[in-house]
Structure 1
Amino acid sequence: MTRALPRAARGVKAERRAAVQALSGGMPALAIILVIVGLVLLFLGIFVEAVKFLLWIGVIILIIGIIAALLRFIRRQV
């Protein structure tokens, strides 16, 4: 019924209530977007830590492989 009245006749409270209702429709979408961004950043942080760990394991295996190749080369020479 208040929608039929002209804007000036509705009053400040009705205008404020309409503005809050208009804004409240966008807030759940914003909250969902923030949760999704937070989860993506959390998983990226976990994966980056896992990649750092695997990188160090790869470096260690590479060093062990180089040492084994050098030992094999030295034993052939003797």
Structure 2
Amino acid sequence: MSQSTSDPIRGELLRNKQTTTPDRSISRYDIVLILIPVVFLLAALFGSLLSVPLNVALFGAALIGAVAVLDGVFWNPPISR
């Protein structure tokens, strides 16, 4: 079915909808924000399962989280489109 119609109001609404629909793909920065808490949860889990001291496991998670933040802010900063 074609999106162009003879109704000018409906056609204008369809054109506006096509131009204002946000991009819903996952960006690099979404992955950085998801990665940080996941790394901490995994560190706590592995620390308890492998008898690694919790402070050592969390220190490793903090290092990985810091690298992720550095990547997202300084090495590959967000740019405007």
Query: What TM-score results when the alignment is normalised by the length of structure 2?
Result: 0.31
Bigger radius of gyration: 1
Higher relative contact order (CA 8 A, sep 6+): 2
Query: What TM-score results when the alignment is normalised by the length of structure 1?
Result: 0.32
